[in-house]
Amino acid sequence: SDLAARAAFGNYGEALRLNPRLVAAWNNRGGCGLSLADLHADAPAERERYLRAAVEDFGQALAVHPGFADAHNNRGLALQGLGELDEAAGREPRPRYREAIAEFDAAIRLRPLGASGWNNRGVAAWTLGRAEEARGTDPGPFWARAEADYRKAAELHMDQARLHLGL
């Protein structure tokens, strides 16, 4: 709920006031920002405020621990959300989508067997392809990358499911 996410956001802020090097607190507060942005999907200004805060928090997590794959992945999600807001408002979304892809690239480099980085990069590549197509540019390379990323994510997800089930 909105109240729970706001309370958690505040609690992580208090923890960070006491110790600004708590990488998990930065990442988790950024996650609260993503949740609050989703809860305010019908209010673009609020959504943008929470997404910007999430980008900042994930950036702080990465300043403390640059090799934290989850923070790269989550920062990519926040940047992609900002790109979607830019697109809906008639602003140029492609730079944000490219930034998101760069974050997903970093997450994949750090954790190549994690399906979420591949899937999220696929979504961002597909979305960037759609934005390119709207501007008269060939979306094919972006859509091919998205398809390859989706396939890799599905393959990894199946492998993870087999491991979990002991198959």
Q: What is the pLDDT of residues 101-137, one digit of tens each?
A: 999 999 999 999 999 999 999 999 999 999 999 989 9
As a whole number of angstroms, the distance between CA 145 and CA 58 comes to 25
68-96: pLDDT as tens digits:
999 999 999 999 999 999 999 999 999 99
pLDDT, tens digit (0-9, with 9 covering 90-100), for 16-44? 999 999 999 999 999 999 999 999 999 99
DSSP string, 108-132: HHH-TT-HHHHHHHHHHHHHHHHHH
Confidence label for 167 from pLDDT (cuts 50, 70 and 90)? very low
pTM, rounded to two decimals: 0.91
pLDDT per residue over 1-12, tens digit each? 888 989 999 999
Q: Which residue has the tokens 């997903």?
A: 104
